[in-house]
Structure 1
Amino acid sequence: MTSRPLDLLRQIAVLSAVSFMLVASALGTGLLGGTPVRDVQGGALDSDASYLAPAGPAFSIWSVIYIGLVAYAIWQALPRQRATERQRDLGWLVALTTVLNGMWLVAAQFWTLTATVVVIALLLVALAITFRVAVVTRTPGDGVADAVLLDGVTGLHLGWVTLATVANTAALLTATVPSDWEDAAAPLGVTVLVVVGVIGLGIAWASGWRVTPGLAIGWGATWLAVGRLAGEPQSTAIGVTAIVVAAVVAVLPLAVAGLRLLRPQGD
């Protein structure tokens, strides 16, 4: 296809956005002198700060997402990707999600806890739109790299941020509501997790049973269960519910996808 001036600009924008995200990440981990995320906002974002915060190991999924986004940024910058319709449809959207990803870390470091909730909500909306466009515009001839770096990475990003939005909002509420509201933490937490499970299944169904969003939600919910059953604050009800949600949102899409692969052609 014939390249347009905006195509090169889009490639540069994606590379710049991912670079910004990486710098913000280095700041958020303390590598560039910033305060680690677990210690910012008075510790409100730490793994033991609220009933809906996953245990620390859950956040290692960011490494997978970041590696995938870096790989995508490099791949989409190749000359043969410059004028493809898929990149034109999705490149700017991916750039937006990576900028918002980095802005969340900036908000956590320098702004308020409320600002982090606003930014992560915007990120969730942007990821939902990006993933929807990726699914709708995908064709069988787009290739493995396209499937992994667009559908796969965006799906993981969306799934994790779905759960992270809940944890971030819970952190804000924990830091602001009266302490006597803690008695309602278990029933509210269970209700929220059930809603997360329904949303996870809704994403899977609407995307043709893509598995990566559910895997990311399941990963986060599993570590949330670990935090509530083996860490502080403890809640057996929330922990058990998180295990059930993790199993459903991760296993059901995998089962449907497996059945589709085993189904004879033409059925």
Structure 2
Amino acid sequence: MAADRVRQIAVIAAAAAAVVGAVVGSGLLGGTSIARAAGGALSADATLVAPAGPAFAVWSVIYAGLVLYAIWQALPSQASRARQRVAGYWMAASLLLNAAWILVVQAGLLVLSVVVIAALLVVLVVTFARLIARPGGTTADAVLFDGVAGLYLGWVMVATVANVAAGLTAAGFDGFGWSAHAWGLAVVAVVALLGCALALWDGGRLAPAASSAWGLAWIGVARLDGALPSAPVAAAAFAAAALIVLVAVAARVAHRSRPSRRTRR
């Protein structure tokens, strides 16, 4: 159908825009890197919940997966599949929001970047929910759809919290009298709660748990080995990362041990 072909082209175009945005955000084309953009508000030492620089290597894996997904979904065999139809435009929207976020940060519009990344998180949650509601059943689905979307969602969840903290700090938020360490602990606790809730909801899918735990672990590293140290926040971040993985594994085991509907009949 023509509508399917339009959707496939839209995803390809959005993926290309996201890759261009990533190159711009890296500073390879002469622009300011994300870590130095917006006055360094998103650098590893800007807030107590900012991940260390190496954490962002996960984007290489995510972008590679997104490019492969875009190519795969454009195959004739994928055009009319229900999964592609219900999630394709949502994935395209996430790719465009990704590129938009980079451009907004490059422009120094930190408050707007919070709005954009929050919208990106909502879009990814909807995408993931649609994929969960329609299991794929193939290796390509597991890797290029569920796996890539899961990694994307798990990382953006951590990035959203870090972005909000950066925006509040840059705006001069005084923390209502709480210390920065107390706020750091509270934020890490929120991320842990969200990560565990996601693991329970999605039946213990490992991709989102792994990427959110990765982000938390690098928050811990930054607080031990950066210019803005905090032993309590570091310990909490490492513990939260471990907890999310443990909950995901437990949820996965529990989900797989449940008898199927066919077995119960």
Partner SS for 1:37 = coil
- Following the alignment from structure 2 to structure 1, what is the Cα–Cα distance between the partners of residues 144 and 239? 29
Q: Which secondary structure state, in structure 2, belongs to the residue aligned with residue 35 of structure 1?
A: coil
Task: Letter of the 2:192 partner, please give it.
Answer: G
In structure 1, the residue matched to 2:17 is: 20
Among 222, 235, 239, which residue is 2:234 paired with? 239
1:52 to 49, 52, 68: 49
Deviation at 1:182, TM superposition (A): 8.5
SS of residue in 1 equivalent to 2:160: helix
Instruction: Show the 5 A alignment for 1:90-105.
Output: 90-105=87-102
RMSD between aligned residues: 1.9
Correspondence for 1:31: 28
| 2:111 aligned with 1:125 | no
**Counterpart contact for 2:200–2:251, Cα < 8 Å:** no
Q: Please state how far the C-alpha of 1:181 moved relative to its aligned partner.
A: 7.1
Q: Is the 8 A contact 1:217 1:246 kept in 2?
A: yes
CA distance in 1, matches of 2:163, 2:255: 36
SS of 2:35 mapped into structure 1: helix
**Structure 1 counterpart of 2:63, from 60, 63, 66:** 66
Say which of 192, 212, 217 aligns to 1:197: 192
Residue type of the alignment partner of 1:16: A
Contact 1:160 1:213 in 2 (8 A): yes
AA matched with 1:118 = V
Paired position in structure 2 for 1:83:
80
Q: Does the CA-based 8 Å contact 1:228-1:234 persist in structure 2?
A: yes
- Code of the residue aligned with 2:99 in structure 1: it is G
What is the count of residue pairs matched by the alignment?
262
Change (3 A) 1:39 1:125: same
Question: 2:195, 2:212 within 8 Å by CA — same for their partners in 1?
Answer: yes
Residue in 2 that maps onto 1:137: 134
- Distance in 2 (CA, whole Å) between partners of 1:125 and 1:260 is 25
Cα pair distance change 1:227/1:123, threshold 3 Å: same
Partners of 1:172 and 1:262 in 2: CA distance? 44
Taking structure 2 as the reference length, what is the TM-score of the superposition?
0.93
In structure 2, distance between residues paired with 1:206 and 1:181: 33
Q: Which residue identity is paired with 1:42?
A: G
Q: Given residue 19 of structure 1, which amino acid in structure 2 is its aligned partner? A: A
Measured in 2, the distance between the counterparts of 1:91 and 1:149 equals 12
Question: Structure 2 regions of 5+ residues with no counterpart?
Answer: none
Alpha-carbon distance in structure 1 between the residues aligned to 2:175 and 2:5? 56
Stretch deviating more after TM superposition (151-160 or 249-258): 249-258
Give the % identical residues: 44
Q: Does the CA-based 8 Å contact 2:50-2:219 persist in structure 1?
A: yes
Contact 2:97 2:117 in 1 (8 A): yes
Deviation, 1:33, is 2.0
Cα deviation, residue 128, structure 1: 0.5
Distance 1:205 1:180, change over 3 A: closer
* SS of residue matched to 1:46: coil
Query: Unpaired segments of 5 or more residues in structure 1?
Result: none
Measured against aligned partners, the alpha-carbon deviations of 1:152-186 in whole angstroms (never above 9, x if no partner) come to 11111111000001111111122221679796111
